[in-house]
Amino acid sequence: MELAKLMGAKVYALYVFNKDEYAPPVLETPVPLGSDWNITEATLRQEGNDAIQYAKKVAEDKQVDYEGAVVEGDPANEILEFAEQNKVDIIVMGTLGKGGLERFLLGSVTDKVVRHSKVSVLVVKQEK
């Protein structure tokens, strides 16, 4: 938000959830209610709305032009598509800093965005 304020830029906050990542595995016995596998789309959407509202408050406090959105889909693809449709100048995103075999096997949303974006990507490493 500080960078946007200094540059007089508009901030788009995008929260992408992929409910397929929370699909239960095929099990011989039913999954009990309340287990981690019973995460609903409504829960994921609410988590996104909470994050977007938090970003909105920060933007208002900093007096930064702001627009937020919550969408479902493949995170990297949705980020790239959103950036292109809204003609953003730069994508700013965080990273959890996963590397090595875990990153190779799972892929990295940030890595995919950096590799395929048509605009610059600023990656902010999460503090431990």
CATH number of the domain at 65, please: 3.40.50.620
pLDDT tens string 77-120:
999 999 999 999 999 998 776 666 555 555 688 889 999 999 99
Is residue 40 predicted with pLDDT exceeding 70? yes
pTM of the prediction? 0.79
Q: Which domain holds residue 98?
A: 89-128
Selected residue with higher pLDDT from 68 and 24: 68
Q: What is the pLDDT of residue 97?
A: 62
State the DSSP H helix or E strand holding residue 67, giving kind and residue range, or none if neither: strand 66-72
Q: Do 8 and 56 belong together in one domain?
A: yes
Does residue 42 fall inside a structural domain? yes
Burial 9-46 (b: 16+ CB within 10 A, else e): eebbbbbbbbeeeeeeeeeeeeeeeeeeeebeeeebbe
What SS3 state is found at 93? strand
Contacts of 35 (CB under 8 A, 6+ apart): none
Kindly report which listed range (1-15, 41-55, 61-75, 99-113) carries the lowest average pLDDT score. 99-113
Q: How many domains does the chain have?
A: 2
Kindly calculate the radius of gyration of the chain based on its CA atoms and give it in whole angstroms. 17
